[in-house]
Amino acid sequence: MLTIKEIAERANVSRTTVSRVLNNSGYVSEEAKRRVLKVIEETGYIPSENAKSLRTKKTKVIGVILPKISTETSSRLVKGIDEILAKGGYQILLANTNLKPEKEIEYLKLLKSRHVDGIILSATNVNRSLIEEIYQLKIPFVTVGQYISGLANVVFDDYQAAKDMVQLLIKKGHKRIAFIGVDESDRAVGYLRKNGYYDAMKEAGLPVEDSWVQKGVFNSESGYESMKEIIEISDNRPTAVAAVTDRLAIGAMQFIQQMGLSIPEDMAFAGMGASELSRYITPSLTTIDFSMEDAGREAAALLLEQISREMNQEEIRTINYRLLERASI
């Protein structure tokens, strides 16, 4: 590998001068500059970012921690993040936790050891030890999807979105509405959306039967199972189902269709997330578009702000959502 030293020798100047040419800083005569650029051109010299970082303490790399790498949500988020970061000359260092909480702390440390200029965390379960670890890092930090006090956050109004969804079903005339959620340790998706459901029902004066409320995980199979459970144990069969993700809704729809019932006549469905699938399945699924790309862009912009301000300050940006009314209700 060619180094700045060799370039300096070949151009008959000092390393200092080469560095000045490279960074367009300080005084350099046209003559010297020309010689240096010529040698760089001829040799194809590429300066080591690594050595540079060691000295300057800036890497132009942002760590992005994701709970899962190949979901539509994640990839849209990353797309938005990359869009903004690329403009600023930053690159993304990926860290995939595969939903394992212990990995989150591990990666936090790893990213710190790599001196990333900032971190964006797309969190699911937020626990105390994770939060403490983040505070200790002292690295510009932005979370997406879950609120953590004292940090910069990009969040969604999960509560209101779920409530809107259920209210739409109510407006459509449904009175017995079931709910398929996820574990409440996921505060945004599990806890807040569930509350949105309960409050919408309560405000409309509608009763909720325990058997209508099921809990699954993030895949369609568990939506299928939850639906089955609802049908099997309910005395009073619901006429509509609100699920916290499109996948859960789609799994549930499959069960209903396999029973020979029709959607939305026998059972109406609503999901959340606006997956591509939701548009193309039959019937198309009513859902909520959280615009993950916007969230990504916002998170990146917020992070760059924190970096330029050289501080970690609480700030909350709420991303707008859109309710997409489709054939499933």
Partner DNA sequence: TGTATTTGTGGAATCGATTACACATTTCCT
Partner DNA sequence: AGGAAATGTGTAATCGATTCCACAAATACA
Decide: is 12 part of the binding site for DNA (CB under 7 A).
yes
Could you give the string, one character per residue 193-222, with x where binding to its own copies holds by CB under 8 A and - elsewhere? ------------------------------
Specify the residue for token string 């409309």: 204
Q: Which stretch binds its own copies (CB under 8 A): 113-121, 154-162, 167-175, 223-231?
A: 113-121
Query: What CA–CA distance (Å, rounded) separates 295 from 114?
Result: 25
Q: Which does 62 bind (CB under 5 to 8 A by kind): its own copies, DNA, none?
A: none
Is residue 173 classed exposed, middle or buried when 0-12, 13-18 and 19+ CB atoms within 10 A define those classes? exposed
Question: For residue 307, how many other CB atoms are within 10 A of its CB?
Answer: 18
Decide: is 5 part of the binding site for its own copies (CB under 8 A).
no
Query: What CA–CA distance (Å, rounded) separates 14 from 136?
Result: 41
Secondary structure (DSSP) of 143-179: EESS--TTSEEEEE-HHHHHHHHHHHHHHTT--SEEE
Q: Are 244 and 216 in contact (CB under 8 A)?
A: no
Q: Of 34, 42, 43, 56, which lies in the binding site for DNA, with binding defined by CB under 7 A?
A: 56
Q: Are 112 and 63 in contact (CB under 8 A)?
A: no
Choose between 65 and 288: whose C-beta lies nearer to its own copies: 65
Decide: is 59 part of the binding site for DNA (CB under 7 A).
no
Q: Which stretch binds its own copies (CB under 8 A): 24-32, 93-101, 119-127, 198-206?
A: 93-101
SS3 category, 110: helix
Q: Of 38, 86, 135, 202, which lies in the binding site for its own copies, with binding defined by CB under 8 A?
A: 86
Question: Tokens at residue 119, please?
Answer: 């971190």
Query: What CA–CA distance (Å, rounded) separates 164 from 150?
Result: 29
Q: Which does 127 bind (CB under 5 to 8 A by kind): DNA, its own copies, none?
A: none
Q: Which stretch binds its own copies (CB under 8 A): 40-48, 175-183, 225-233, 262-270?
A: 40-48
Q: Which does 95 bind (CB under 5 to 8 A by kind): its own copies, DNA, none?
A: its own copies
Shortest distance in whole angstroms from residue 48 CB to its own copies: 6
Sequence-separated (6 or more) residues with CB below 8 Å from residue 38: 11
In the complex, the residues that contact its own copies under the rule CB under 8 A are: 44, 46-51, 53-54, 59, 61, 69-72, 74-76, 78-79, 82, 86, 91-96, 109-110, 112-115, 136, 250, 276-277, 280-282
In the complex, the residues that contact DNA under the rule CB under 7 A are: 1-5, 12-20, 22-23, 25-32, 47-48, 50-52, 54-56
